[in-house]
Structure 1
Amino acid sequence: MSSQPAAVGHDTVTVRRMLALTASAFLVLAAEPLYLLVDTAVVGHLGARALGALAVGTTLMAVLAIVGTFVEYGTTARAARWFGSDQRGRAVDEGVQASYLAVGIGLVVVVAGELLARPAVQLLAGSSTELRGPAEHWFRIAVCGMPMVLLVLAGNGWMRGVQLTRTPVVIVLVANGLSAAASPVLVYALHLGLVGSAWANLGAQVVGAALFVRALRREATGLRPDLAVMRSQLVLGRDLIVRAAAFQAAFLVAAGVAARMGAAQIAAHQIGMQLWEFTALLLDSFAIAAQSLVGAALGASNPRAARQLAGQVARWSLGAGAAFAAVYAAGWWVIPRVFTSSPAVWHQAHVLWPWFVVMLPAAGIVFGLDGVLLGAGDVAFMRTLTVIAALGGFVPVTLAAAHWHWGIGGVWAGLTAFIAVRLVGMVWRARGDRWLVLGTD
């Protein structure tokens, strides 16, 4: 194995390379939440009932999507190590095997989602009968896209691992641009209402998956399934899935509590969560660049470069989080009105807004260090910390908000506690040496 391949030599682990990967990741990550923001705005003007139903449906889709966590992030970590050791063919093969897993797991998720759609929607919507029917209808259409969702995640994963920056941007922008254009047409012009957004979303997933498969066939030296590689990916994926499950369990509790507060509260929560996820994914652009470069540096047995990258990405992410906080603080009155014309929803959005703004600088650091430790493969620690933060911070505060009637602000105080616990743990871990594991194993 080469100890200093050109892909990750000291001269290439630079600010310029970090910025190139960050910019690529930024555009890819922005496309999906921008589409969701457009979709939320389109559906929001159908009324609080439709927006609340969309919140229930998208929350359930996010729960199911946890199975794709390792397909994306695990593939990046493994591919980056092979790429760093100057074995690009093996790095791309990680994408081939991840794509097979994506299709198989996605089909299982579709069957499970269709069978459990009604009780899952009832569990989340609670006694709100006005949300159940439209939410279930939207979800049954949307869940059919899970194999395509996972193929897109696998495609992003291996491309980031080999530091391809242009192709994923083009694919994701094309797919989501077509879908964003289709959503208002289907919802309003063709009078499909809420389900029109589900069909638009499904269309984007089909286009994106097809384009990523096409790119993989061009790059791969072979397309045969390799059960040994798949097993290794599943081992890494075990901790990533538990980590993602902790995330989604906490968010599911929050959505359930908000839904039981009323249609205005769950609608405001949907607006807040879409903005939160949009911002989180954009902040993740630094993390994804770090994940690729840190994995490659450790694959090339260069711990000094990995540690330098950790410090750099933490500083940049803090600055980005502070910048987003300033923008949202300035737009507290205007931004909610983009998504709904309901004064009741505006009021509830203003209640959660201070929590949303205050947490963003700390969240920037957390997301940046997430990428560092993911690139290092330190997923067992990340799993444990996330479970502690979710079950010891987010969920207790959210349930307390329901019990003592703190309102939607209490739910968002729980999210703030979740970020605070993770911040302490991530900074402590990054300052140590246990994550600096060298080589391709």
Structure 2
Amino acid sequence: MNVSGDIFIRTLSVIAVFTFFTSRSAGIGDDTLAANSALLQFALLFSYFLDGFAFAAEAMVGRWFGANDKSTLKKTIGFLFYWGFGMGALFTVLYAIAGDQLLHFFTDQQEVVDRGSDFLWWVIFLPLVSFPSYIWDGVYIGATASVPMRNSMVIAAGCFFFLPFFVLFPYMGNHALWLGMLLFMLARGIILTLLFPRLLK
């Protein structure tokens, strides 16, 4: 029950970020809403591949963490991050080279493609910025360490998505939404990285 409650709060934080992202996109304009929705598909496409590594992390970390085999646990996490970085780099290169073509795949409206191209460079860096958060999610779930997962998500959402957006939106407009999204993903990975030594103890 405790683990489920923590994950429920964590999930609410994720829903709050993405719902707010969509809502504010609509408030800026229809073209921006359509462009942001198309660009979010880039993040979802990447997440489908990284989720496989996260699921593997849940199983393997659960095994070695439960056995208190710290040596194998660290080696396993190292391999997971090795592959996670490789996938992040691969998708970053893919989005940098073929981002405009992918936009045309997600929408046939030229005005939406033109609007999306203005913000495409934010999405290009998203895989490299976000891959640690996916790997750490699997690690922490495998270790049933739900409290730091919950806390990191709430802090990342409040301090690194919502706060930067409200401060910078009057000056940056839609760019503030994408900056907040990148900071949100980056903060999740950094916070969970900093908390990991305590988890091992």
**TM class, shorter-chain normalised?**
over 0.9
In 2: Cα distance, 1:328 partner to 1:261 partner: 25
Alignment of structure 1 residues 157-236 onto 2, 5 Å: 234-236=1-3
Tell me if the contact between 2:13 and 2:154 (Cα under 8 Å) persists in the aligned partners: yes
Aligned-residue offset at 1:298: 2.2
Match of 2:179 among 391, 408, 413: 413
Matched with 1:392 is 159
Tell me if the contact between 1:253 and 1:398 (Cα under 8 Å) persists in the aligned partners: no
Classify 1:358/1:255 alpha carbon distance in 2 versus 1 (closer, same or farther; 3 Å).
same
Tell me if the contact between 2:165 and 2:176 (Cα under 8 Å) persists in the aligned partners: yes
Classify 1:284/1:304 alpha carbon distance in 2 versus 1 (closer, same or farther; 3 Å).
same
Matched with 1:86 is none
**What TM-score comes out, normalization by structure 2 length?**
0.92
Tell me if the contact between 2:17 and 2:157 (Cα under 8 Å) persists in the aligned partners: yes
In 1: Cα distance, 2:83 partner to 2:184 partner: 21
**Residues 360-407 of structure 1, C-alpha deviations (whole Å, 9 max, x = no match):** 1121122112211111111101111111110001112333454x1623
Classify 1:236/1:364 alpha carbon distance in 2 versus 1 (closer, same or farther; 3 Å).
same
Matched with 2:146 is 379
Larger Rg: 1
Aligned-residue offset at 1:415: 0.3
Q: CA RMSD in A?
A: 1.7
Match of 2:123 among 349, 356, 381: 356
Residue identity opposite 2:18 in structure 1: F
**Residues 28-69 of structure 1, C-alpha deviations (whole Å, 9 max, x = no match):** xxxxxxxxxxxxxxxxxxxxxxxxxxxxxxxxxxxxxxxxxx
* 1:338 aligns to 2:105 (yes or no): yes
Aligned-residue offset at 1:318: 1.1
Classify 1:384/1:238 alpha carbon distance in 2 versus 1 (closer, same or farther; 3 Å).
same
Matched with 1:435 is 199
Aligned-residue offset at 1:323: 0.6
In 2: Cα distance, 1:406 partner to 1:319 partner: 32
Classify 1:410/1:344 alpha carbon distance in 2 versus 1 (closer, same or farther; 3 Å).
farther
In 1: Cα distance, 2:158 partner to 2:50 partner: 24
In 1: Cα distance, 2:113 partner to 2:129 partner: 26
Matched with 1:288 is 55
In 1: Cα distance, 2:14 partner to 2:7 partner: 11
Alignment of structure 1 residues 25-424 onto 2, 5 Å: 234-400=1-167, 402=169, 404=170, 406-424=172-190
Structure richer in helix, relative to its length: 2
**Residues 90-110 of structure 1, C-alpha deviations (whole Å, 9 max, x = no match):** xxxxxxxxxxxxxxxxxxxxx
Aligned-residue offset at 1:312: 1.5
Residue identity opposite 1:320 in structure 2: M
Aligned-residue offset at 1:294: 0.7
Residue identity opposite 2:177 in structure 1: V
Classify 1:350/1:391 alpha carbon distance in 2 versus 1 (closer, same or farther; 3 Å).
same
Tell me if the contact between 2:60 and 2:142 (Cα under 8 Å) persists in the aligned partners: yes
Aligned-residue offset at 1:246: 0.8
Aligned-residue offset at 1:325: 0.6
In 1: Cα distance, 2:85 partner to 2:74 partner: 17
In 2: Cα distance, 1:293 partner to 1:260 partner: 44
Residue identity opposite 2:193 in structure 1: V
SS for the counterpart of 1:301 is coil
Tell me if the contact between 2:148 and 2:192 (Cα under 8 Å) persists in the aligned partners: no
In 2: Cα distance, 1:424 partner to 1:340 partner: 34
Runs of 5+ unmatched residues, structure 1: 1-233
Tell me if the contact between 1:313 and 1:369 (Cα under 8 Å) persists in the aligned partners: no
Number of equivalences: 201
**What TM-score comes out, normalization by structure 1 length?**
0.44
Tell me if the contact between 1:287 and 1:370 (Cα under 8 Å) persists in the aligned partners: yes
SS for the counterpart of 1:341 is coil
Aligned-residue offset at 1:248: 1.1
Tell me if the contact between 2:92 and 2:127 (Cα under 8 Å) persists in the aligned partners: yes
Structure with larger RCO (C-alpha < 8 A, sep 6+): 2
Matched with 1:200 is none
Runs of 5+ unmatched residues, structure 2: none
